[in-house]
Amino acid sequence: MPMTKLTFKPGLNRERTFASNEGGWYAADKVRFRFGLPEKIKGWVKRSEASFLGSCRALHAWTSLNLDSYLGIGTSSKYYIDFGTTLYDITPLRTTTSAGEVTFSASNASSTLVVTDTAHGAQQGDFVTFSGAVALGGGGTITAEILNQEYKIDLVVDANTYNITARAVASVSDITVDGQYTPTAVAANASDTGNGGGSVVGAYQINTGLDSTIFGSGWGAGVWNAADHGWGEAATTIVQQGTLRIWTHDNFGEDLLLNVRDGGIYYWDKSSGLTNAAVDITSLAGANSTPTVSKHVLVSDRDRHVLAFGCDTEANPGVQDPLAIRFSSQESLTDWAATATNTAGELRLGSGSEIVSVVETRQQILVFTDKSLYAMQYLGPPFTFGVNVVSENTSIISPLSTVAVQDNVFWMGDGEFYAYGGNVNKIPCSVKDYVFDDINRDQLEKIFAALNASNSEVWWFYPSSGSDNVDSYVLYNYVDRVWSYGTLARTAWLDRGINSFPIAASVDGYLYDHERGYDDGSTNPASAISSFIQSSPITLGDGERFAFIRRLLPDISFLDSSNQTAQTLFTLKANNFPGGDFLQSSANNVTLSNVAADENALPVQQYTNQINMRLRGRSISLRIDSTDTGLGWRLGTPSIDVRLDGKR
């Protein structure tokens, strides 16, 4: 028998059994498909040593009129703007006390300070900045400089008191290390008997949000559009008690609008500088009937209206209507009162119980409720905007699970993947059961979609069944229409555009440029990315005939790898029956230096032409592994030297 090429169908397939998926790929990690061929994904590099607090769930890039580049970062604890290599905290303030409302008390040899502020409204993990304080005592260690800085609240004792840890003087950004608040505690002494004086002012940032969804039992249990009950109906399973902190944000010119889901809408004026916090739009000069609570905010690119989704109505301010949509007058941040002389107004959707997600395309705005999909378009006066139902009984798994690709939108539903390009269609998925059976359904809100347009890919990151944190992904190449999956811990993603590379937020509190090199840049020095791909069997022998394999020709490209001595590991396995054990390949006179798959793996380097081996069976399976630094690879069509013999 002549040399036999090992040709595999592109994409992973887990809808078939291992044996019935003959000639296909069955499992992989950190491998994508391009032009039908598998290759290792590229690596990532830390953007800077600036670390953020909380879990990042939102990224937004824009440029100012003088071409300065900014990056908005919304986390569960704060909102930052990344400018240069520095993170600036512009988290809005919830309230600022009058002078004298805040007092301190300390205990000898303890770093815990008890803060008294009547009806403070704070919760554990919130941030407050004090000013106007004086030292707690002559000769004491708790000086005015120590008191007059920003603190994280350690413990809320009651409605009027909470505890903080007195710390050495430093900015919060300086003591944010690997995503953690790491103060140097300062203990009081016997002289610290004062209360900070009568001029202390406390400036409280908006309450921090949750890193994870918290559940209980009773009303409203389960997920959007669940089959066993409707939204708002009693259930015997679990109920969502606290939702994830999710930000939405958009530009108003060179300035920034931001919104905490089910919270206020805030405005950061670029001209005010990076050291000033965003402010509630209700506090802006000329504010007229502005929304006070919203689920999502965006600025319509086509007509320059500010839109708030799932907000309070003009007639009932302060009471959130989860299906209401309001829009300001054109080109205005502050004029929301609908009159005959402006273009402000409001709409209310008729299907579903709440707006879950909103995504803007080039032609329209798609609005997802828990049951339906609407298309919203600019009509002009007198109605300004109109909405039409695009699809009913369509599910969506989380607020962040949608992504727009020009005029198309992709999203993850509850058990299905969907695409919209004028009509809603289910996307055939060859790994559907594998993915949806692996999701931690208690943390569905953490699922988010990510566009990697340079590779024609949409990724959905999700928490696997064994994790409360996002640690896995499923990848769809929308040009080749093939799927892959793997493991990677990310919490937010922004495709390249203003920036040269896609940017992703990691659980370690740092941002990373992706598609750079082939290594894991979270360590210093960079470490190797472990990747592999495993095929289903290919039958070589028919009936009672067996194949004897004595040589492998790899056909693998090492792309632009920087490591000239790096190697991949090929493992061929053979079996005699679909349910039988596999026998592994064995290289002749080969000394292995870097074994990832097993001790019988065949090392293939850049100039490896062939490997002599011995293997016998009816069918074979191929696995490729790589664990070297500086290594990128793309598999072509390997060949094997096969001789068919008689009965076993």
pLDDT tens-place string over residues 285-339: 999 999 999 999 999 988 899 999 999 999 999 999 999 999 999 999 999 999 9
Q: Give me the pLDDT at residue 543, please.
A: 62
Does the domain formed by 395-516 have CATH 2.120.10.80? yes
**Cα–Cα distance, 75 to 83 (Å, whole number):** 16
- What does the angle CA 123 – CA 127 – CA 129 come to, to the nearest 5 degrees? 130
Phi, psi of 647 (to 5 degrees): -60, 155
Token pair of 127, please?
């941030």
pLDDT < 70 regions, the chain:
1, 215-242, 541-544, 577-600, 646-648
**Cα–Cα distance, 268 to 279 (Å, whole number):** 7
Q: Give me the pLDDT at residue 645, please.
A: 74
3-state secondary structure of 435: helix
For 359-379, the pLDDT digits (tens) are 999 889 999 999 999 999 999
**Cα–Cα distance, 196 to 164 (Å, whole number):** 14
Q: Is residue 99 within 8 Å of residue 200, measured between CB atoms?
A: yes
**Cα–Cα distance, 103 to 198 (Å, whole number):** 8
**Cα–Cα distance, 534 to 248 (Å, whole number):** 39
**Strand segments (E) across 103-145:** 103-106, 112-116, 127-131
Question: CA distances (Å), 34 to each of 29, 85, 454, 629, in order?
Answer: 15, 34, 11, 22
Task: Determine the residue type at 8.
Answer: F
Q: What architecture does CATH give domain 3-41+530-645?
A: Sandwich (2.60)
Q: Is residue 127 within 8 Å of residue 80, measured between CB atoms?
A: no
For the chain, the domains span 3-41+530-645, 94-205, 212-239, 284-394, 395-516
Q: Give me the pLDDT at residue 579, please.
A: 62
Q: Give me the pLDDT at residue 514, please.
A: 98
SS3 readout for 286-311: CCECCCCCECEEEECCCCCCEEEECC
CATH topology (fold) of 94-205: Elongation Factor Tu (Ef-tu); domain 3 (2.40.30)
Under 8 Å CB-to-CB from 37, ≥6 apart: which residues?
10, 634, 635, 636
Q: Give me the pLDDT at residue 1, please.
A: 54
Question: How many alpha carbons lie under 13 Å from residue 243 in its C-beta half-sphere?
Answer: 15
Q: Give me the pLDDT at residue 233, please.
A: 45
Q: Give me the pLDDT at residue 592, please.
A: 31
Q: Is residue 80 within 8 Å of residue 90, measured between CB atoms?
A: yes
Between strands 239-242 and 527-528, the pairing is unpaired
Q: Is residue 400 within 8 Å of residue 407, measured between CB atoms?
A: no
Phi, psi of 75 (to 5 degrees): -120, 175
Between strands 24-29 and 9-12, the pairing is parallel
Q: Could you give the dihedral angle defined by the CA atoms of residues 223, 59, 45 and 626, in that order, rounded to the nearest 10 degrees?
A: 30
3-state secondary structure of 446: helix
